[in-house]
Structure 1
Amino acid sequence: MTLGLIWAQAANGVIGLDGALPWHLPEDMAHFRTLTAGATMIMGRKTWDSLPARFRPLPGRRNLVLTRQTGWRAEGAEVFASLAEALAAAAGADVWVMGGAAVYAEALPLADRVVVTELAEAFDGDVSAPEVHRPVLAATDWAESSTGLHYRWVTYGG
């Protein structure tokens, strides 16, 4: 099993506001789809809830949702009470953690790689990314999005 974490963050570390991304970056969505195609996705319930209904479950991926809410169910989601249980169920798979902040923080020490879309702009938000203290394996040059935002992709090693 390989375990990766994937997220986009503003220059000030923000990854969310009121259960959503505070920006629109279509290039990042395409990058996410490419990297995670066919993989097992682990996410918290609030992250699941933040996905637009037409993308739940994420197509072409196994969707594992973590929640402490006993009895919570959603069509297309496999429900687990802990990250350890979800990882055990995903043994042998290519696994990506896609949020939220508490799930990232718990999974970060176990990750083989971390892929971050960094935005050059700062945004207001109520959720921040964990700090990544790992070597940078690769980073793209800064690019301008079709929406005018500036971004790059950074991959950190394990």
Structure 2
Amino acid sequence: MISLIVAYADQSVIGFKNEMPWHLPEDLKHVKQLTEGNTIVMGRKTFESLGRPLPNRRNVVLTRDETFSAEGIDVINHIDAINSLEGKVFIFGGSTIYDQTMHLVEEMHITRIHRRFAGDTFFPDYDPSEWELVDKIEGTQDEKNRYPYEFLHYRRK
């Protein structure tokens, strides 16, 4: 199964200057719970923003640069190669990768942050009529999770 996982704020902002413009520990915990033991596919810029492979999951970088390599990751150079990855696969970003792979995705795990942030990277538009909401969990705001948010799980109709 090919899934997509993303956190975005109002205006579909997912990043600013190659970083997430917010800190939301509950979202990081949620991402870890969903992706551990599975495969995550990300673009080179997303990988570089992380600075290292995420532990306890297969990290795959999709890039046109056929010379790119980094310790602890696998590299693929074509979107079609995603279909040959075994097990559950999560499209992990960034914006270009989301846009180029949306047609492959069977489910989306979205953390929707109800706040405006400056951004230069955005989650691409998608047709909501193609998706069915499976689950919605309201996030809890506290001193560490300062913004209103919710976890949304969609499946393609």
Taking structure 2 as the reference length, the TM-score comes to: 0.91
* Corresponding residue number in structure 1 for 2:67: 71
1:31 alignment partner, SS class: helix
Is contact 2:26-2:145 (8 Å) kept? no
Query: Which of these residues, 131, 140, 152, is aligned with residue 150 of structure 2?
Result: 152
Task: Quote how far apart the aligned CAs of 1:142 are.
Answer: 4.5
Distance in structure 2 (CA, Å) of the matches to 1:148 and 1:138: 22
* Corresponding residue number in structure 1 for 2:132: 135
- 1:106 paired to 2:100: yes
* Corresponding residue number in structure 1 for 2:48: 49
2:81 alignment partner, SS class: helix
Deviations 1:116-153 (A, max 9, x none): 00011011100111234212111112431423111100
* Corresponding residue number in structure 2 for 1:82: 78
Deviations 1:45-75 (A, max 9, x none): 0000010x3xx21111011101111211100
Equivalent residue runs for 1:32-47 within 5 Å: 32-47=31-46
Amino acid aligned to 1:13 = S
State percent identity of aligned pairs: 35
Task: In structure 2, list runs of 5 or more residues that go unmatched.
Answer: none
Distance in structure 2 (CA, Å) of the matches to 1:109 and 1:144: 34
Distance in structure 1 (CA, Å) of the matches to 2:49 and 2:35: 18
Q: Which moved more, 1:17-26 or 1:98-107?
A: 98-107
